[in-house]
Structure 1
Amino acid sequence: MRPPRCSVRATRPTSDEIRVTTSSAPLAGKTIVLGVCGGIAAYKAVEVCRRLVDLGAHVAPVMTDGAERFVGRTTFSALASQPVQTSLWDEESPIPHTRLGQGADLVLVAPATARLVSAYAHGLSHDLLTNVLIATRAPVVVCPAMHTEMWEHQAVQANVRTLRERGVHVVDPEDGRLAGGDSGKGRLAAPDAIVAEVLSVLGRRDLADVHVVVSAGGTREPIDAVRVIANRSSGKQGYAVAEEARRRGARVTLVTTVDRPAPIGVETVCVETAAQMKTALDRLAESADVVVMAAAVADFRPVSCATGKIKKAGGVPEIVLEPTPDILAGLGAAKRPGQILVGFAAETGDLVAQAQSKLERKNLDLVVANDVSQPGVGFQHDTNAVTFVRPGGELESHPLSDKRDIARALLDIVVGLRA
């Protein structure tokens, strides 16, 4: 079976009356010193800076002399939270390195050249950035970028090992096209990967070493070689849960029908039909501590699938349906003591009663219920409004919010259940 494809385009609500609650600023209140070294990849640090600010961080940029040969300081001063600093001598503070180092919640160096890696590993302090690195007790994330031969050199690798042994977080460079026109390992990691590492380091670690399995997307049941029975699920909520669980330190496996990049650090299993999803989830649930069933699984499938395309000339075909396996009920029946099982209920009416019924019938620990008939809720949207239903009739409602906020609230409850 080929990897799943999704041709459905996400749509946004257009009504001005829809109120969306947004608090997706996981770095709010955090001060990040962003060190930029002199390499061609310095231009990527501009995007990293912008994303960190968007996530709520106060970004204090520090550029080396070499960095200014590639990117102007005005760019970072405009995008960051304060003007660029470059010198030990020309700043307002008489001791800028200690002020920056002591005030930082995290120091990020992207890109980090071979020279910077060497200086940091050996405790050298020849400029403002290296002084900050030595003067801070905050966690440090270093993102090396250099040519392949330099990255693979024994001295560079020894320096990187030294930094890792000291607790420095190193985001390895990627394979790809390099500045010289050739290809190899050494290209600065993508901004997504760098920001994900920052979020992981600064975020909550209340799911460390927990295996979380998440399903996402809508299954597709083939009618013939061309047509399928499908639904409108985009998988966005499941992906948001997987990403948030990974940030909290979990080992995450995402079972998905959606052809989109997985969150950084998340293992993916691609499926298409309900039967394929059941096989994957039954296997993974055996070792999972938490299973979040966010996928929209088809309730029915054709009894038989035509081997070729059904032609219009043959008249209206008769398609006989049969029930698909109830994946969630099977997981509930096989649930181990201590395992947390979360289901979703996409309804168009009688929301709480339907969710409570599903909770009891399928032996679940939590149901996330949403009324998909409401504007901006559920399928294809970036937003959701949900009611969390727990055993005993306990309810917790969340107004229309970014799906990342819903994911955080969901996992907050899961952490509480595990405790």
Structure 2
Amino acid sequence: MEAWSAPHVPTLSPAAGQVLVHDTALAELLPIAPESGEARMYVCGITPYDATHLGHANTYVAFDLLHRVLLDAGLRVCYTQNVTDIDDPLLERAEATGVDWRDLAQGQVNLFAADMTALRVLPPRDYVGAVEAIPVVVDLIESLKLTGAIYQVDDPQYPDWYFEVRRAPGFGRLSKLTDDEAVAVFAERGGDPERPGKRDPLDCLVWRLERPGEPAWESRLGRGRPGWHIECTAIALQHLGADFDIQGGGSDLIFPHHEMCAAEGAMATRQPFAKVYAHAGMVGLDGEKMSKSKGNLVLVSKLRGDGVDPMAIRLGLLARHYRSDWEWTDQALTGAIGRLDSWRAAVGRGAAAPAGPVIAALRDALRTDLDAPAALAVVDGWAATDGDDPAAPAALAEAIDALLGVALAG
């Protein structure tokens, strides 16, 4: 699967420094400092329907910010993202709308790519759909079978394949939920804790055998399709290897998705799945989390269609710390538009306050757990200050583009 085109990223003068990111498992800041000089990052992609709402955009802009900060720190970034282009929610939406599931998925993938391009999000190096990854998924399941952690439920009609989560070292360390809490969240987020024949309510589906009317693929496991969690585990291990640097996504993926991926990966490789688990907060609307199930969505494409500058949308997202839960409002958008106008006016001046100290402060804020609100405040202060350095406006425009992904030309 091809990703969207990459925007140009200006190269700034090098500056030493360490990038620190909050790790959900340990609840502390950890350095991203691979000895190889290459940071390996996996961010879970969309299930392609209702793309791209601002909850999606908040996550991908947050990890785009991390991508840019890592590049600025002199690291190469090996970035992988999946697309869950076969799963129950997609099939349910296709049936409800009367659209072929393949057409629905492709149309939404195209829309997502257009939105990411408009928001100047750097594309992943490896952009992999679940369907194209089926051979890799099957290989991983077969490998896990050798550990004894894969079994079939005792169901004469649909003996689906499951992963026995309790066999995995460290299971539960990421989410830190009690068993009762985990079962409740599992049921809420696509799990099947009450399925008869499972060894544990939290065991997760890895291969669903064919049902009438559903798409399915031939495999050594029987004709069927992959489960959600094993898809990401297989893609990440294939393209990044074990113990990669950053597993990212929205905070709603902590459990069960990232917990299950970590368990499967650790069981398969006998190494940690990832070093750092980083999570973006949830975006709400009218007092509730913005979600496809509730239908309370603000779509990037709708905002763009209404004439909103994508750079204002990006600034609206960056105005909250990436780990925060917050609410999108008309006032948030109005404030972002005003900020964009102010910054563009400042870089359009013939001279301004020196750029060096501002760029250094930007880097300090962003390298400390992506403190975008602090970075925005730094630029606000510079924009409101007079100066006589004729090189400063262009230098700041390049730094804002490189570090924050906000293009001020236009």
TM-score, scaled relative to structure 2: 0.33
CA radius of gyration, larger in: 1
Give the structure with the higher percent helix: 2
Give the structure with the larger strand fraction.
1
Which is bigger in relative contact order (C-alpha 8 A, separation at least 6)? 2
